[in-house]
Amino acid sequence: ANGPEESVLAAESASELHAALATLSPDLREAIELVYFAGLTYEAAATETGRAAATIETRVRSALAHLHAQLAR
């Protein structure tokens, strides 16, 4: 079985991924955008948002799980 990251990377199209991203809560979307699309570390994303690095990591993991569920449909 593919994990969350593999599902995200294997999205059939940019529009499919964009639609899945739109279903995330603002907090989860912000975390995934900063870490995956802007390339920030958890620590840099934490500084950017004023949150703890552990919070960013948890949000990224939650976002990946949510995206995996959306893209696996």
- Residue 71 pLDDT level (bands cut at 50, 70, 90): confident
Question: Which one has a higher pLDDT value, 1 or 58?
Answer: 58
- Catalogue the E-assigned strands of 1-73: none
Q: What is the dihedral of CA 32, 35, 36, 41, to 10 degrees?
A: -160
Per-residue pLDDT at 50: 97
**In this predicted model, what pLDDT tens digit does every residue of 17-67 receive, in sequence order?**
889 999 999 999 999 999 999 999 999 999 999 999 999 999 999 999 999
DSSP character at residue 13: -
Of 19, 32, 18, 37, the C-alpha closest to 65 is 32
d(CA 46, CA 50): 6
